[in-house]
Amino acid sequence: MKKVIHYINQFFAGIGGEDMADQKPEIREGAVGPGLAFNGMLKNGQITHTIICGDNYMGSRTEEAVAEIFDLLKDIDYDMLIAGPAFQAGRYGVACGTICKAVAEEKHIPVITSMHSENPGVDMFKAFMPIFKGGDSAANMKKDVKAMAAYADKILAGEEGKSAEEEGYFGRGIRHQVWLDEPVTAADRGVDMLIRKLNNEPFQTELVIPRKDVVPIAEPIKDLSKAKIALVTTGGIVPVDNPDHIQSASATRWGRYKIDNMDRLQGGEFKTIHAGFDPAAADEDPNRIMPLDVMKEYLAEGKIGALHPYFYSTVGTGTTQREASRMGQEIYKCLEEDHVDGVLLVST
């Protein structure tokens, strides 16, 4: 039976949520949390140890966290590392990708993880390891674990894996030469695809070129002292009653709030509804996320020409690219109407 190490964050280890996101790496014998499901499905391997690390700790002290994890594993033999699944949790996905990449490069052993397509960890790490196409929440745990375990069993048994599409993970941009069971020349395959395309029939190219969503870089503002600037945040700063009912995660709504009659945002009048970080500091002083106080100082000093009379707010954590794009376009229309020259976009 092959030995497997499992990596999970503080939440799935049952330690705590955001209040424990700075948890240092620790190791436990056996399976913990989702690892129990893996051990129930793996046939050729078993999780012997679980590494646990807080998402904030891995994100803010990456090199330190990786070094500490390697130190915890220095006297342990293992044949594979499994991380997650991370679903749509961005920091967790990046953490899973980070430790998988480090172990693969240092130990030269197989590593796998799983994330939702909207997880930023996919684009960051899919070239370095198989990242299975997972669900958006823990409700998909059983399905995601089953897909990962089936692939892990193949690799642990020394079997040849199939293509990314057949196995169910994101394409890595790696191409292999294969011999078809029924040899067909490239010319014949090409003509067959062309005929299918002309007849509006489905076909699959053998040379998939990924589409990149490229956003053109805007021209720099030549003179800030004459520019009108707007404030936008994905940090969830809203009036305390959250009048637009913006969700604390996976947002589909945004709001705009009048600021031309104030010099700073006051705690108790404004707060954050963001579920992805400890809100205490932002609730105490909302200007830490939405820096109205500094921008009003810049305006008084003549560093900027004007300040748009509203700020715009939504929540970034878990928000899909599709919803973010839609909300951005809607906010842009408001900014365009007021001839805004530049935007200070404050994220968290």
CB atoms within 10 A of CB 246: 19
- Extract the tokens encoding 65: 């966290």
Average pLDDT, the chain: 92
pLDDT at position 98, please?
Answer: 95
**What is d(CA 13, CA 26) in angstroms, rounded to the nearest whole number?**
11
pLDDT at position 49, please?
Answer: 97
φ, ψ of residue 87 to 5 degrees: the values are: 55, -130
pLDDT digits (tens, 9 = 90+) for 171-186: 887 776 777 777 888 8
Please report which residue ranges of the chain form alpha helices under DSSP H: 34-41, 55-60, 62-73, 90-107, 120-125, 141-156, 164-167, 186-198, 280-284, 292-301, 321-337
pLDDT at 210 over 80: no
**What is d(CA 327, CA 331) in angstroms, rounded to the nearest whole number?**
6
3-state secondary structure of 270: strand
pLDDT digits (tens, 9 = 90+) for 48-80: 999 999 998 998 889 999 999 999 999 999 999
Place of tokens 């929540």: 315
pLDDT at position 172, please?
Answer: 82
**What is d(CA 22, CA 299) in angstroms, rounded to the nearest whole number?**
37
Q: What's the mean pLDDT in 116-144?
A: 91
3-state secondary structure of 322: helix
pLDDT at position 130, please?
Answer: 95
pLDDT digits (tens, 9 = 90+) for 233-254: 999 999 999 999 999 887 889 9
pLDDT at position 110, please?
Answer: 95
**What is d(CA 116, CA 250) in angstroms, rounded to the nearest whole number?**
13
**What is d(CA 226, CA 40) in angstroms, rounded to the nearest whole number?**
65
**What is d(CA 168, CA 162) in angstroms, rounded to the nearest whole number?**
10
Long-range Cβ contacts of 295-304 (<8 Å, 24+ apart)? 295/229, 295/231, 295/344, 296/263, 296/264, 302/225, 303/224, 303/225, 304/224, 304/225, 304/227, 304/228, 304/229
Q: What's the mean pLDDT in 133-154?
A: 93
